[in-house]
């Protein structure tokens, strides 16, 4: 239990800091910490493979990409100076409304959980789902979805290359 609270606390605090930061490079690093905590939670949920994948894919690949972009763009800190000159709906005030909504969502979800009941007992004892079982399901029952995602990745890759490519210097 204590381990759960430790990981949960790390995840929540790190996530909060992610959105509290003005410097995106710290946001990225804190998010990695949050992912690490989530990875620990996955281990506790008997999902070691997801835990490791979380590290390899999220922390090791996606976040490196973010870090790269932050470095490439020289991580400009957030600009606030033109707030006064913009449309009223775009000022920071209305944006805090979004945060209020987020809080409302948490309340609603908690309410839903209490109303639904159940889910309060410990998890039923079960074998750790092996990598073999996951692989088997992935390549049989979910084979179509797997292929679709691979096409998605391919498309995204081509799209990213084209979008990020510098246009050739015009003669």
- 104-163 positions binding other proteins, by CB under 8 A: 104-106, 108-113, 115, 118-124, 126, 129, 131, 133-134, 137-138, 142, 145, 149, 152-153, 155-157, 159-161, 163
Burial of 54 (0-12, 13-18, 19+ CB in 10 A): buried
* Choice from 10, 33, 93, 98 touching other proteins (CB under 8 A): 98
* Choice from 10, 40, 76, 140 touching other proteins (CB under 8 A): 76
Distance between CA atoms of residues 66 and 68, nearest Å: 5
Compute the chain's Rg from CA coordinates. 21
97 makes contact with other proteins (CB under 8 A) = yes
29 makes contact with other proteins (CB under 8 A) = yes
As a dihedral over the C-alpha atoms of residue 18, residue 22, residue 24, residue 30, rounded to 10 degrees, the angle is: -30
> Shortest gap between Cβ of 101 and other proteins (angstroms)?
5
């Amino acid at each position: 239990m204590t381990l759960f609270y430790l990981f949960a606390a790390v995840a929540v605090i790190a996530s909060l800091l992610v959105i509290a930061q003005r410097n995106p490079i710290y946001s990225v690093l804190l998010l990695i910490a949050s992912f690490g905590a989530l990875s620990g939670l996955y281990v506790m949920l008997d999902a070691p493979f997801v835990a490791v994948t979380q590290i390899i894919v999220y922390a090791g690949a996606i976040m490196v990409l973010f870090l790269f972009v932050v470095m490439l763009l020289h991580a400009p800190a957030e600009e606030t100076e033109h707030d006064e000159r913009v449309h009223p709906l775009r000022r920071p005030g209305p944006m805090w409304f979004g945060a209020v909504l987020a809080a409302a969502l948490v309340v609603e979800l908690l309410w839903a959980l209490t109303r639904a009941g159940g889910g309060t007992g410990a998890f039923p004892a079960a074998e750790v789902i092996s990598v073999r079982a996951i692989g088997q399901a992935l390549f049989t029952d979910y084979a179509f979805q797997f292929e679709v995602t691979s096409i998605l990745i391919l498309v995204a890759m081509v799209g990213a290359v084209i979008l990020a490519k510098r246009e050739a210097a015009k003669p």
